[in-house]
Amino acid sequence: MDAKTDDGAGKCPFTGGPRGHANRDWWPETLDVQVLHHNSNLSDPMGKGFDYAKEFKSLDLNAVIKDLTALMTTSQEWWPADFGHYGGLMIRMAWHSAGTYRITDGRGGAGAGQQRFAPLNSWPDNANLDKARRLLWPIKQKYGRKISWADLMVLAGNVALESMGFKTFGFAGGRADVWEPEELYWGPEGTWLGDERYSGERQLSEPLGAVQMGLIYVNPEGPNGNPDPVAAAKDIRETFFRMAMNDEETVALIAGGHTFGKTHGAGDPSLIGPEPEGSAIEDQGLGWKSKFGTGVGADAITGGPEVTWTQTPTKWSNHFFENLFKYEWELTKSPAGAKQWKAKGADAVIPDAFDSSKKHVPTMLTTDLSLRYDPAYEKISRRFYEHPDQFADAFARAWFKLTHRDMGPIQRYLGPLVPKETLIWQDPVPALDHAVIDDKDIEALKAKILASGLSVSELVSTAWASASTFRGSDKRGGANGARIRLAPQKDWDVNEPAQLKGVLAKLEAIQKEFGKKVSLADLIVLGGAAAIEKAAKDGGTHVKVPFTPGRTDATQDQTDVESFAPLEPRADGFRNYISGKQQFLQPEEALVDRAQLLRLTGPELTVLVGGLRVLGANAKKSKHGVFTGKPGTLTNDFFLNLLDMGTVWSDAGQGVYEGRDRKTKAVKWTGTRVDLIFGSHSQLRAFAEVYGSSDAKEQFVNDFVAAWAKVMNADRFDLAK
C-alpha cells in the first residue's frame, strides 16, 4: 500500500486539535507575576553547582579565537560566505544580539544569549542569523560549558573585525546563558514591522527602542519606507539614544559596521519561507528557506535592499566615508523592490560577493545617507572622513560599549582581553583601599546610628532608596558607590531630597567621628540593618540582619548624570510612590516590573512590601498601606489586617481605597492598588496568607530579612553568589 502525503507533512499532527484556554485568555487584565519565576534552577540544565565564571577562566581563549578565525574563511556549501568571508554575517549577529539593549529599563542586550530564543530568533531584522549560529555550533560544541552562547556570539563579532584588519578595543567574557526566553514588552503591535508605538509627532513610546516590531533599530529604507535621509536621521538619533549612544558613537557604529559585508535582496521576498519559530519540524530550527534560485549565496534574500558599501568589504578601510561624500546619489530599487540609492555616474568599483568577474556601482541605504544630510551627523562624518584614525578609535570604543553595555561594572569582566581603561558608562566605583570594619566595629556603629536621632523609617527608607535602584537587567544601580548622595539621585522626588539630606548629614558625621575608615555606602546599608533589628526586637523577634562591609563611595566625576536619569522610578510600589510623570503601567504592574528588575521572587516581593509598609518606608510619609497600629515595628500586621474579613474596601477615587469596619462603617485603613493587590490577586493572596497566619510571625521576620539582604547585596559582585 502506497504511503500518502499531504500539506501538513512534517508538522505536529495534533496542532489542529482543540486547545484549552490559558488563564490569560479568559482574564487578560490579570496581573502577570510569572515573570518573577523565569529562569529558575528547575529550567537550568547546568545544575545548581555550575559556576560559569570559573569555567570561563579555565578556557583557552586563544584557541577559541584561532578556531573562529579559521571559520571566517571556511565557506560552507549550505550557506556560502559572501566574498569568501563570514565576517559581515558574524558582525551582524553580534550587533543584533547586543542591539536590543534599551536604557529605559536596562533590558535586552547580549548578556544572556537571548537571540537563540523567540521572539528574537524570528524577528524580521534577524533573518538568517540562525545560519550564523549554526556555523558557530561546532565551536560551541567543542568548548561546551567553558564558553556560553552569549559570550561566543559577541566574541565571534570581535574576531570577525580583527580578521578583517580592524583593531578592537577589547573583549570581556562573563555572560552566562539563560535557558528560556525573557518575557519582555517589545511593543503593542500584533504584526511584524507594525509601528503602533508612536503617538503625536512621531513620539516613540517608552521603554521601546526600535521603530517597528521586529526591527533592532530603524527601517533602512527610511521612516515607514519613506526614503528621506533627514527624516530617517530623527529615527536614528532617537533609537540610538535609547540604547545609550550619542551622535558620535552612532555615526561610528553605522559607518564602521557598514564598512564590511553586504545586505541581501536578490529577489522577490514573497519567496521566503517562515521564520524559525514557524518552520516545519524537519527544518530543525532553521527558517527563512528561500525558493528564489538556489536560495543561498548570490540568491540569498535576508531583507529588501541589495547593498555593498565599500570596495573592500572584507577589509577595514575608510571607503564608506569616501564613497558617501564623493558621489551624488539617486534613488533606485533593489531586485527585491526595496528603496535604496546608487552613485550617479559612478564606475563599477564594488566587487560581487560570488563572481570575481563582476563589479557594481556603489550603493547606499537611506539611513547611510542620513550621515551626510543630517547637519550634526554630517559634521562628525566629515571629521571621520578627514581623520581615519579618529574614526577607527571611535568605532572601536563604540563597538565595545555596544557589546558590553549590559554587563555592569568592570568587576564582572573576565578574560585576558579586558581593557585596562575604565570608562564612565561602566559606573566605576573606587577600589577598596583600606581594611574593612570588623564585627566589633559593626556593633559599635549600629549603636551610634540608633543613638543619632534618626528614626527606623528614615534609616530603612534611605537604605532602600540607595539599594533598590539596582537593575538585574544591565547590572546598574545599587548601594555600592553611595550614589544616592550625588546628582541625579539626591534630587529625585521619590528620595525626598530634604529628608535625605538630613539623614546623610548625620551618617556623614558618624563616619567622620569613627576611628576607622568606613564608606558612607556601607553606613547607609548598615543603618537600615540596625533599624530592622530594632524594629524586629520591638515586635518581639530577635534577628541579625546580614551585613558585609566593603562598599566604596563613588565621586560625582565617576557618575554620568544623564545616563543615570532613566533609573529614576516613575513609580515604586515598594514605597507606595507614583510620580507626576506619564505612567505606562498600572501601579501593580510597575511593582512587579521593579521586583523583576531586582530579581525578586513572588514570595520575596510579598514579604518586602508587607515589611516596608509597617516600617514606615513609604515615600513622603504616606499612610496608605500602613495597616498597623505600631508603625516602625516589624510585624506581620500588614497581612493580618489586609486579610481581615471585618474590613470592607471601596474605591475612594484617585487611586486610593478605603477600608471600613464592616459593622461600624468607620474608616480603618487607606490603601492603593499596590496594597490591595495582595488580597485580590489569587497567587499573591496565597503568599499573603502564608505571612498572615497565626504561626507566621517568626517566618515573616526571617523571610523579610533574607529578602532585604538580597536587595542590599544585589550589586556586590565581589561577593561569592
Q: How many CA atoms lie within 13 A of 540 on its CB side?
A: 7
What's the distance, CA 293 to chain centroid? 40
Neighbours of 720 (CB within 10 A): 5
Contact 176, 146 (CB under 8 A): no
With the C-alpha atoms ordered 233, 239, 240, 244, is the resulting torsion angle positive or negative? Answer: positive
What is residue 675's three-state secondary structure? helix
All cell numbers assigned to 266: 536578490
Cell of 512: 567622620
Contacts of 628 (CB under 8 A, 6+ apart): 613, 614, 635, 637, 638, 641
Half-sphere exposure at residue 443, Cβ-oriented, CA atoms within 13 angstroms:
3
CB burial string 344-362: b at 16+ within 10 A, e below: eebeeebbbbbeeeeebeb
For residues 336 and 357, what is the distance between their CA atoms, to the nearest angstrom?
A: 23
329, 363 in Cβ contact below 8 A? no
For the chain, the distance separating the N- and C-terminal CA atoms, rounded to the nearest angstrom, is 63
DSSP lists the bridge partners of residue 633 as none
Residue 42 burial by Cβ neighbours in a 10 Å radius (0-12, 13-18, 19+) = exposed
Binding site, by residue number, is 258
Please tell me the total number of residues recorded for the chain in this structure.
721
Pick the closest to residue 373 from 242, 246, 222 (CA basis): 222
In the chain, the amino acid numbered 662 is: R
Q: Grid coordinates in use for 562?
A: 544623564
Q: Is 681 a catalytic residue?
A: no
Q: Which residues are annotated as a binding site for heme b?
A: 258
Measured between alpha carbons, how far is 587 from 285 in angstroms, rounded to an integer? 39
Q: Which of 366, 393, 389, 391 is nearest to 381 (CA)?
A: 391
The active-site residue, picked from 85, 96, 264, 624, is 96
Residue 219, exposed/middle/buried by CB under 10 A (0-12, 13-18, 19+)?
buried
- C-alpha distances (whole Å) from 181 to each of 43, 96, 113, 151 are 11, 16, 9, 17
Query: 329 pairs with which residues across the strands?
Result: 343
SS3 230: helix
**151 residue type, one letter:** D
Q: In angstroms, how far apart are the furthest CA atoms of the chain?
A: 95
Instruction: Give the number of C-alpha atoms closer than 13 A to the C-alpha of residue 343, restricted to the C-beta side.
Output: 21
**Please, are residues 691 and 685 in contact by the beta-carbon 8 Å criterion?**
no
| DSSP secondary structure, 293-346, as one string | TTSSGGG-BSSS---B--S-TTS--SHHHHHHHHS-EEEEE-TTS-EEEEETT-
For 250, how many CA atoms within 13 A lie in the half-sphere containing its CB?
Answer: 28
Q: Which residue has the cell 512590601?
A: 609
Place of cell 549600629: 446
The residues annotated with a catalytic role in the active site are: 96
